[in-house]
Each structure stands twice: as C-alpha cells, then as structure tokens.
Amino acid sequence: MKLRAIELRSVHLPLLSPFRTSHGTESAREALVLRVESDDGEGWGECVAGSDPLYCPEYLEEAWLTLKRYLAPALLGAPGLTATDVQPLLHEFKGHRMAKAALEMAVLDAELRAAGVSFAAYLGGVADVVTPGIALGIMSSVDELQDRVSESLEAGYRRVKLKICPGWDLVPVAAVRDRFGENLMLQVDANSAYQRADIDHLACLDPFCLLLIEQPLEDDDLIGHAQLARRITTPVCLDESIVSVHSAATAISLGACSIVNIKAGRVGGYLEARAVHDFCTSQGVGVWCGGMLETGLGRAANLALASLPGFTLPGDISATDRYFHEDITPPFRLVDGTIAVPTGPGLGVEVLRPVLDALTTRFEALAGAEH
Ligand code: MG
C-alpha cells in the first residue's frame, strides 16, 4: 500500500477515578490517536506515551513532534508499504518506540482490514477469550484498597495487581492477603521505585506468595534485578527494562527476571512484541500483556496480542468501564471473567466518530509530498 495521509489527534478521556502509581496521579487519559489513509483504505493506531515523561522518556507532545517531523515523512508515499517495512524504514531514528509502534499499528490495521484478516489471526493468536487482571493504584488507606479489591473480585476479575512504593508495600499486601485468602492471584508492581539497598526489605514480601513482583528497581539495573531474583522466592518480572527482544534476551541471560510484561508500545510495535513473546516462550519465561490506559483501539490490539499461546498469566486489559466514562470505540465488557478477542478485520473494532470528534482537543493532518 501507499500512505496518502496520516492524521494525529489528541483525545481527552476523563478517568472514572484517579489512578495513582509511584510516578504520580492521573485523572484523565490524554491519548494520541493516529489514522492513516492509504490506497487500500484506512487504519487506526494509538501512541501509548503518557502526558509526562514519568513511565519512560517518551511523552505525548514529543511523540507528536517526532511523528510529524521524522516518522510520518519516512512512510508517507513509500511504495509497496506493509507493516513489516515500518520498523526498518524508521530504524535510523533512535528510540521513540511508542511513536513508532503507533504508526506500525495503524499501517497493520489498514493492511489487515484490506485483507480481511484479524490482528489476532495475523499475530498467531490461539485463544478466543482473554482472562484479564485488574491493576489497582496506590490508595489513601488500606480500608479503601480492600474495598477496591472486593469490588474488583465482584466484577469478575480473577487476578489483582497492587501498585507499591516505599511506604505502601508490606502493610497493604499483608492486609489484602489476609482478607481475601491465599487463593487470590495477587501480584505487585513497583514501577522502579526501589533501590538495591531495599533488597532485604523486598524479601519480606516472600511470605505472601505473590505471583510476581514487577519492576522493583531502576530500568537499567539488570544486575540489581538479578541479585534480587537470587535473594527472594517471589518471581521477578520486568516491565520498563524490556524495550526489545535484545533487552529481553540480555535480562533473561543475566537471570534478572523469570517473567516478562509485554507492552507493544514499549518495545516499538506489535511485531516486536510478538518477537519478545516468541523468544521468552522459547526460554521458558512466562509473559503477560501489560496495559497503558489504552483506548478501545489499543485495547483491541492488546487482546489480540494476549491471545498468543505464551500469554499464560492474566494481563492488565481491563474492561472499558474500569477506566473511562466514554470510549472512542464500543466498550469491551467482562463476561464470566473474560473478554472476547476481536475477530473482525484489522483491529476488529470501529471508531465511534462522533465521540472521537467530541473528545478531540487537537488535530493535524500530514500529507505526502504530492498532496
Ligand atoms: Mg508495570
């Protein structure tokens, strides 16, 4: 195909309740939504960068500029373009994996819609439904946390992830384990809030039989994670540290993790995410699909990714009503503790254009040189 135009939109989605992590509190999701127009039809993508460089160096303003100045011009008008060409064509531009992933996603969506193939079928998915987990932010009290866990279990979620940070770790974990019992699938995510000096403290989580501890130390501290993994019995999972199949291979060979959280945006796209899945699976390392407060577009793609056979742990792909008052696609619903993997062509979801237009706060159309 040949891309004729790439549209960028900022979309403002208020959250039902503020989400607090060790990085800060979000009360709305500002999403960067892409639409590509090709001679084969349209495709949609989403850049999962945050409003500020808190999760990783990328952030939305910068992603917009990078897409406009460097990435979009490298693809617009390129003849015979397919999704597998996107990363090689953008390779000379360092980093900016989330912006690149958004473009690849939109090109892949256009390609698959035209071919009548779903994301899941293209990626090699095998599951019809995905069992999602829920991620609960840092709360103001243990009572509030227990109420939220209770609501989540009543809603049908089978795995609970607690965000932790120094000062909010052993007590809330102990309280949840105590109240909800040893059968609750429970895990924690520190978003790199701890240091190597905290390793003995983190070992105090072991008695709570967690599924895993996610990204306790700094992104680039693979040796520290390996030291931690040797010291504790709780499996160590990496999120922010894994930015490609190469970094996954390095982390695994160092013994820095035994589980990997895969986020397509963080590794530069769904094709690299599949490669990370394939590598981890070949090494006997479990994977699960992380979430970045995606709109229904990213959620659809994540469901497709999570349908691959190596995704044996519940992912952070909650139902739409967990986060947003209103989404830009029809909502994803939890049914008997599962969410269906879309089967339609491409992402398998349609954008609700009036809603998208109403929530759009910024728009820019980039066209090829011949326009
Ligand atoms: Mg995480």
Instruction: State the pLDDT at residue 370.
Output: 56
Of the pLDDT bands very low, low, confident and very high (cuts 50, 70, 90), residue 17 is confident
Map out the domains of the chain as residue ranges.
3-115+352-367, 121-340
Domain 3-115+352-367, classified CATH 3.30.390.10, yes or no: yes
- What separation in Å is there between the alpha carbon of 231 and the centre of ligand 1? 21
Which of 94, 100, 161, 163 is labelled catalytic?
A: 163
**Mind listing the pLDDT tens digit for each residue in 60-112?**
999 999 999 999 999 998 999 999 999 999 999 999 999 999 999 999 999 99
Residue 94 falls in the annotated catalytic set: no
Calpha distance 180→151 (Å, rounded): 12
Query: 121-340 has which fold?
Result: TIM Barrel (3.20.20)
**Mind listing the pLDDT tens digit for each residue in 112-121?**
999 999 999 9
Mean of the per-residue pLDDT values of the chain: 95
pLDDT higher than 80, residue 22: no
**Mind listing the pLDDT tens digit for each residue in 106-159?**
999 999 999 999 999 999 999 999 999 999 999 999 999 999 999 999 999 989
Residue 2 falls in the annotated catalytic set: no
Which of 2, 94, 161, 263 is labelled catalytic?
A: 263
